[in-house]
């Protein structure tokens, strides 16, 4: 198998148009030359020394992420779930206890803390009892639910796994104000909606709401496994040595890959293209048969369909060599590589029309 840009090839050489990007991981496209070169070069020099030592790629990446976002410190992890675990611990320590508010429909990961913050019965029930102290409310009611015992609010600015549901800016502004009033931390989970996915490098940039911390992963490594918790200066000194740790996190190879991915994605020309092509995809989807509603930001798009969505995913793969996925029985999700072209968007819509028509 092989891949390049928005294309994947199977063992027989058949070519597939990919609108899933490894579930929003390959934002820079499959095997982007910059990422490949960075990984090869770093792997030939140094692959691992553990978290007992700083390495130059790790330090530069932490400085770069901090300077380009919240201005505090960076704690690296291997995945989005682990980054969210670190964020939960950060808020608990900062507030010396307290509880969390999360949103209905959220998905923050499958480790115990992150799973406890993911109010989906099908995912939680087999592993109960979970970590206590998490209350789920609809986003519109969250500001009123924040109180003196709230340690933190964990939110995806655009919910991904539940079917691409953007949270309105006015709701987030009210949550920000309530967190400020009660001293709670506002944490944005940008694991899926960050790294250019919504048309700005970070989703919060387009919303006018700045969190106290945010979590990253997926597209950060250009296909390599890396996550990060980024804080603002007010939270920078909460963690002390020994509070949290990870043997592989922030290793030199994945840090080098992340630098290369940022070189590709933190580019205003590309981000403008993400916004324009996202609009093109939304408008094109709305014209297709059996499509009821379409929503999204940038190239993070979902369509509710009057059909069996998982069956459509299988047909798209088998009949049209189109890779998409379903987030529910009637919802299709589209998170293509951000280097997708206008012609590839149009071709994807044509292939979708063939299975929906």
Q: Which among 18, 100, 134, 218 is annotated as catalytic?
A: 218
Q: Catalytic site residue 93? A: no
Pairwise CA distance, residues 33 & 37, whole Å: 6
Q: Which among 107, 188, 239, 334 is annotated as catalytic?
A: 107
Number of Cβ atoms within 10 Å of the Cβ of 24: 24
Task: Decide: 172 and 209 in contact? Cβ < 8 Å.
Answer: yes
Q: Catalytic site residue 107? A: yes
Q: Residue 276 to residues 197, 304, 307: CA-CA distances in angstroms?
A: 12, 21, 28
Q: Under DSSP, is residue 136 helix (H, G, I), strand (E, B) or coil? A: strand
Tell me how many degrees the CA angle 229-196-137 measures, rounded to the nearest 5: 60
Place of tokens 């009611």: 141
Q: Which among 189, 212, 239, 334 is annotated as catalytic?
A: 189
Q: Catalytic site residue 134? A: no
Q: What ranges in 12-152 are assigned the alpha helix state H?
A: 21-24, 33-45, 56-68, 80-95, 112-116, 121-124, 139-145
Active-site annotation, residues: 107, 189, 218
């Amino acid at each position: 198998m092989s891949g390049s840009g928005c294309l994947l090839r199977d063992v027989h050489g058949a070519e597939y148009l990919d609108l899933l990007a490894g579930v929003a991981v390959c934002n820079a496209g499959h095997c982007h030359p910059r990422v490949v070169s960075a990984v090869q070069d770093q792997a030939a020099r140094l692959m691992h020394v553990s978290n007992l030592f700083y390495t130059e790629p790790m330090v530069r990446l932490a400085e770069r992420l901090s300077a380009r976002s919240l201005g505090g410190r960076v704690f690296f992890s291997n995945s989005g779930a682990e980054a969210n675990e670190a964020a939960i611990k950060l808020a608990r320590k900062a507030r010396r206890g307290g509880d969390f508010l999360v949103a209905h429909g959220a998905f923050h990961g499958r480790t115990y803390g992150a799973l406890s913050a993911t109010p989906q019965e099908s995912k939680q029930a087999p592993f109960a009892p979970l970590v206590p102290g998490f209350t789920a409310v609809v986003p519109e009611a969250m500001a009123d639910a924040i109180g003196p015992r709230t340690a933190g609010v964990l939110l995806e600015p655009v919910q991904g796994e539940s079917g691409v549901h953007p949270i309105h800016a006015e709701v987030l502004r009210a949550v920000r104000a309530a967190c400020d009033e009660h001293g709670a931390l506002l944490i944005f989970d940008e694991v899926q909606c960050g790294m250019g996915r919504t048309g700005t490098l970070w989703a919060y940039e387009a919303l006018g709401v700045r969190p106290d911390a945010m979590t990253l992963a997926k597209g950060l490594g250009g296909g390599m496994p890396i996550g990060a918790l980024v804080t603002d200066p007010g939270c920078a000194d909460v963690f002390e040595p020994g509070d949290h740790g990870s043997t592989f996190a922030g290793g030199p190879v994945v840090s080098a890959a992340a630098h290369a991915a940022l070189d590709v994605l933190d580019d205003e020309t590309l981000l403008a293209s993400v916004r324009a092509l996202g609009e093109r995809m939304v408008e094109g989807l709305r014209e297709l048969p059996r499509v009821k509603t379409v929503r999204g930001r940038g190239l993070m798009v979902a369509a509710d369909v009057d059909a069996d969505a998982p069956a459509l995913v299988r047909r798209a793969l088998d009949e049209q060599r189109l890779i998409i996925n379903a987030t529910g029985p009637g919802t299709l999700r589209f998170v293509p590589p951000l280097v997708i072209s206008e012609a590839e968007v149009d071709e994807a819509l044509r292939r979708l029309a063939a299975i929906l028509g």
